Structure formats: C-alpha cells, structure tokens
Amino acid sequence: MIYYTKQEVDGDRVEKTINTTRNKGGKIRTLLLHFFLVLLVTLLMVLLFLAGTLFLFSRGPSDTARNLFVMSVRETSAIGFLADIFLSDEEIAAIEAGRGAENLDVTDASLVDIKRSGSSGRPAADEWGYVDEDMDGIIVVPVAGESYVGNMMIVLDPSRVALGCVPESLGTQGYTVAEYAEIFDAVAAINGGGFEDLNGQGDGSMPNSLVVVDGEICCGGKGVGPGFVGIDKDYILHVGFTSAEEVEKLNIMHGTGYGPVLVVNGEPVDDEALVSGLNPRTAIGQRSDGAILMLVIDGRQATSLGATYADEAELMLEFGAVNACNLDGGSSSLMWYEGEYINNCASVIGIRDIPTSFVVLREGAKRDD
C-alpha cells in the first residue's frame, strides 16, 4: 500500500487545476481563432460575390442590365462611385447621354384652361373620375406598379401651389419638407429641385440649378440641368430647358430645375430620354384643367424598389398631365400632408434638409405674385 502526504495530494490537485485551466484557455483560443477565420472567409466570400455582381452588371452580356445599374447608382450621390469600378468615364457618359432630350417642344399654354370650381355643397367627381371627398381641394390617390408604391396628390386650384424657399438661407441652411410646410403655413408639400450633394454629404442649403421665387431669380446655380419646371403668373406650369433670360419672358413666378422633363404638351418625352434605374421619385405636372399633380414614389425598400422616369411619365399621363417634370428623388423624396409624412423616407440617416419645396397653401391664401 502506498501512502501520499497531504502536500503531495494538494500539489497534484494544483497541477491538475493548472493543466485544466491551460486546456480551457487553449480551447477558447482555438474557438476564437476558428470564429474569426470563419468570419474572415465569410467576409471575403461576400466581397467576392459583390464584386462579381458588379462586374456582371457592368460587363455582363445584358446592355439593359448594365444601363439600369449605371443609371440607378449614378442617380444617388452616396453610391455613384460603384459605376466607376468596372466602367470608364467615357462609357458612363455614353450611357447617361441616352437620356438627354435636346429638342423639347415649348410648353403650349393654350392646352391648359384653368377651371374655377364653384361650391356645390357636396363632393363631385372631376373629369378623370376623382372625387374631393373632404372638399379641401386636395385629392390623394395611392398608386402602385410592378416595382413601386406611392401617392399622387391632385391640387385642384393651381394658385395654391408655390415654391417653398428661404432665399436668405441659401448656401447656409436647408430645411426639411415638413419645415417648409410650417414656414409657409402650407397644408401639403413635396421636395423640390436638386442641390449640391458631394458623396451624399450635402447639407441641403445650396441649389444646383436655377431657382425662382416670387418672380425673382434667387439662385442661378449651374444652369437648369436636364429640366426646369416653373409656374407663371397665370398659374400655368412650364417645363423645358428654360434659361434665366426666358424666366422674365415667360413671367415665371416660382420654379426650380432638376429633370428630366417627362411630358410636354400631352405627349411623353422620347423613350431614350427617360432611361433610368429604379429609385425613389418625385415629380410635378399639370392637367388641362389647371390642377397640379404631385407624385412621390417610395424606393429602396423591400415593398417598393422604386420607379423609372418612364414609370413617372406613364403615371402622369394616366392622371391627365399635359406637362410634367421629374424633381429631385432618392433620399429627398417626401410628401407631407395634414401634419405628417405620408410616404416612407429612403434615407437611413433620417429626413434630409433641402433648399426648395413645392408647397400647397391653405385655401384662400395666395402666393406672392
């Protein structure tokens, strides 16, 4: 029989404890190593998949897919660089040139005959079958297509529509759509023209196109871009490549630029001028009876990927537009009505400040002409 002293037993226990601890520590290190190795491999696979997808879109066999990809990302400041990874500047320019509309007809004001609706005491359907149920002069109609959902707002009295802009704040501060509604005591509003937005980091204070407020040019921008929309003193909406010199000639009271133009004199712009990807959209138009159409489409969401320019043009024609123009879209696309936003903002960082907004004044209030 072998006898062990207490010291020997205790020492053996300590050694076993140390060995157990070492073994556990080694297992933890091994598990952590395996975890980070799997994570690294997964990230590499995801990056390779994304790179392969970008390459397929950029250099794959489908010109349609390539053009759709380029137009979609180039319309978004924050991710526009993705098109540059596998395509040259010349190739991108050639794709974007396909949506230019160089020979637009001049807006024919005679096609718009503004109807002054009298008070009948009860809601009545208009020529297009839409009814102002609450008789506030505004009709909101949900719209939907294969890739989008949104809202079309019909403002029956065009004299209630003005461009929301704070000229003294241009270049220093922008405002949200809701803030423009509050500033101008409006019942509804949508976002307006574009603005300087380098890499998606713009503060929404500086327009990048012509801006007209109360008949005065308050920002010359860099021209009018691929489209200008302006409302004259008789509440006729004009679209086209209006220059600063033409603003006075046309008696434009409120307007801003973005584009492209969608509908001119009751006809859609040529399909090649409406090449685009799927994105959140905002547009404005006018029916033959003078009613102003405001369209906002949700995008970059599981339930609504977005719309193309052609989708916008089709919707505008469906609602009776004789003239219509695309406005700024993407993360800026918002519609505000009766104290709240009625569409979903596509921005992951929250609602953006913008330099201009088309607002709908309260009944009886008139814009400053």
Q: What domain range includes position 320?
A: 109-361
> Residue 297 has what pLDDT?
98
Domain shared by 70 and 142, yes or no = no
Residue 180 has pLDDT above 70, yes or no: yes
Domain shared by 258 and 290, yes or no = yes
pLDDT, tens only, 1-24: 555 555 554 555 555 555 555 566
Cβ(292)–Cβ(161) below 8 Å:
yes
Cβ(215)–Cβ(234) below 8 Å:
no
> Residue 109 has what pLDDT?
93
Domain shared by 174 and 228, yes or no = yes
Query: Which of 97, 127, 160 is the last residue in one of the domains?
Result: 97
Cβ(342)–Cβ(335) below 8 Å:
yes
> Residue 93 has what pLDDT?
66
Query: Which of 65, 97, 129 is the last residue in one of the domains?
Result: 97
Domain shared by 82 and 124, yes or no = no
Closest CA to 189 of 198, 202, 176: 176
Domain shared by 89 and 130, yes or no = no
118 assigned to some structural domain: yes
Is the peptide bond prior to 260 cis by the omega test (within 30 degrees of 0)?
yes
Q: Strand pairing partners for 337? A: 188, 340
The larger pLDDT score, comparing residue 166 to residue 64, is at 166
- Of all residues in the chain, the percent with pLDDT exceeding 70 is 78
Domain shared by 288 and 341, yes or no = yes
Domain shared by 216 and 295, yes or no = yes
What burial class does residue 136 get, using C-beta atoms within 10 Å of its C-beta: 0-12 exposed, 13-18 middle, 19+ buried? middle
pLDDT, tens only, 206-263: 998 889 999 999 987 655 556 899 999 999 999 987 677 888 899 999 999 888 999 9
Average pLDDT, the chain: 84
Tell me the pLDDT band of 77, cut-offs 50, 70 and 90: low
Domain shared by 159 and 283, yes or no = yes
Strand bridging mode 292-297 / 281-287: antiparallel
Domain shared by 201 and 61, yes or no = no
The larger pLDDT score, comparing residue 131 to residue 69, is at 131
368 assigned to some structural domain: no
Backbone φ/ψ region at 104: left (φ over 0), alpha (ψ -120 to 50), beta: beta
353 assigned to some structural domain: yes
Query: Which of 47, 62, 97 is the last residue in one of the domains?
Result: 97
> Residue 27 has what pLDDT?
74
The position carrying tokens 């062990």 is: 4
Residue 191 has pLDDT above 60, yes or no: yes
Domain shared by 91 and 123, yes or no = no
Domain shared by 43 and 141, yes or no = no
